Amino acid sequence: MTIQRTETRPFDDQKPGTSGLRKKTAHFRQPHYLENFIQAVFNAAPELRGQTLVLGGDGRFYNRQAIQVILKMAAANGIGKVLLGRGGLLSTPAASCLIRKHGAAGGIILSASHNPGGAEGDFGVKYNIANGGPAPEKVTESIYWHARNLTTYAISDAADLNIDQPGLQQLETMTVEIVDPVTDYAALMEELFDFDLIRDRIAQKKLRFCFDAMHAVTGPYAVEIFHHRLGVAREALIHCQPLEDFGGAHPDPNLAHAKHLVAIMQGAGAPDLGAASDGDGDRNMIMGAGCFVTPSDSLALLAANAQCAPGYREGLRGVARSMPTSQAVDMVARQAGLPCYETPTGWKFFGNLLDADKITLCGEESFGTGSSHIREKDGIWAVLFWLNILASRQQPVRELLDQHWRRYGRHYYSRHDYEGIAKERAQTLMTELRAQLSQLAGRRFGELVLAGADDFSYTDPVDRSVSQHQGIRLLFEDGSRIVFRLSGTGTEGATLRLYLERYQNDQARLHDDTQQTLAPLAAIAEQVAHIQHHTGRTGPDVIT
């Protein structure tokens, strides 16, 4: 075995976003493309030399081949040890768990999250730091700088390793330990939740549950935790075999893509709780019999019922939500006297708050919730939290929602996605909207009066760093909001996300139709931003 220095040229499109570098799979398979980015990561993270690196991915197409490349490059770049999920599988939350538990210096996660997989689908690489969370902007900027200035990369010419056999192997001077991807994560979940109570309720058939892994990475986690440890019937766990193309489906746990689960939960004899997770296991969808729980309401309900779970009975230090997420959790925090933080989108912004012990729970409207147990959002954790609450409260999901809305009011909320827009068109929309912000305050739209409009800026309360241009907000006098934001999670064109929110505390108006309630706000958004003109679309591609 020898270490080779391979000459290369920089690629100009390797700037990591909030969730790492995502491109079409074919793009990653170009000669030197993956190698260049991995070398840039190692150059930007010298703290990895001689230390432990966690490695794994969601099992999508090209996952296994990329892992062999990264192992050989890690050995050539002086990494001391790699902890690798067996078969190359490791959910994003489990990777965070391993980094924290084993004191690793960082981790590389191979995933494009909820994006489609397969040879024609998407691929991604994300670097996580020693706290288990996504690399902050100063690190991703350093990775990008190194990527733009790269001339060579180092790689071993060793043969491929057997990544399906647990145990220790040697690659150059580096140790590779193949570990079960579920064991440490499952142990952490048993510390946080009352498995005995949940198991008893399931055994008594008083808590019926269905989970859809969407042929993604959470399948093995679901079988071990829900079936083997909690006694959920195996047939209630669907699509649990991870597939390279996710069965040809879109591994995004929402009403548009988790259609099999939605049909079960809306059908006769529906279980008490239905849930799904995404490609890499960090997102979740929650449903009750005949009802859907928005991610914003889910975060609020978890905060309001945190005492049901043993790991949170000592109370919450605070809560946080991303700016586009509805203000439902704000109402819970206000009544409980808890700090509540509004951050930009991106889990790394929660990391500083969690590390500083300022918050315990946090979440985003994009089907992600999490807590201080790791530094990533966590799909299986959220589902277990809901199971714990239902086992403790012994009420159906719909009843819990009704009680919550009667106490705190209801935030009618929806996200409209316009996908695959030409980037220049999307940027023009945002630029023109930004130019008129100063003229919008005080403007009346029917019964709604605009109190103010801004381009959200965030000053981190821990390190005082400033993040600007995080989304345009239209704020109305009655508490309603319209938010415009361009998403960075896609690999083709741009995605315009339009967020609509309207608060209602009239007890007689807590069960109105969501889209009808929000229709006036959607009309205002079109009037102000001229969405149809800029996008050429008569309506959104996806509504959640």
CA 541 – CA 521 distance, rounded (Å): 18
Spatial neighbors of 397 by CB under 8 A, at least 6 apart, are: 272, 273, 286, 287, 288, 289, 291, 293, 386, 390
Q: What is the DSSP annotation of 55-79? A: EEE---TTHHHHHHHHHHHHHHTTB
Q: Cα–Cα distance between 281 and 379 in angstroms, integer?
A: 5
> Do 95 and 313 meet the contact criterion of CB atoms below 8 Å apart?
no
For the chain, how far is it from start to end, CA to CA, in angstroms?
Answer: 52
Which residues make beta-bridge pairs with 288? 273, 291
Beta bridge partners of 169: 176
Angle at 461 between CA 411 and CA 410, to 5 degrees: 5
Residue 471's alpha-carbon distances to 21, 85, 152, 434, 484, in angstroms, are 21, 37, 38, 10, 6
List beta partners, residue 379.
Answer: none
Q: What is the dihedral sign for C-alpha 34, 39, 40, 44?
A: positive
Q: Which of 470, 492, 212 is nearest to 343 (CA)?
A: 470
Cα separation, 87 vs 179, whole angstroms = 9
Tell me whether strands 174-179 and 167-171 are parallel, antiparallel or unpaired.
Answer: antiparallel
φ/ψ (deg, to 5) at 170? -120, 135
Q: Enumerate residues 6+ apart whose C-beta is below 8 A from 519.
A: none
- By the 8 A CB rule, do 222 and 240 touch? yes
- Region of 253 on the Ramachandran plot (φ > 0 left; ψ -120 to 50 alpha; else beta): beta
Please name the residues in contact with 353: beta carbons below 8 A apart, sequence gap of 6 or more. 318, 320, 341, 343, 359, 362, 461, 462
Cβ atoms of 48 and 42 within 8 Å: the answer is: yes
**Which residues are part of the catalytic machinery?**
113
Buried b / exposed e over 480-518, threshold 16 CB at 10 Å, is bbbbbbbbebbbeebbbbbbbbbbbeeeeebeeebeebb
Quote the crossing angle between the two packed helices 137-148 and 33-44, to the nearest 10°: 130
**Computed over its alpha carbons, how large is the radius of gyration of the chain?**
23
- What is the SS3 assignment for 1? coil
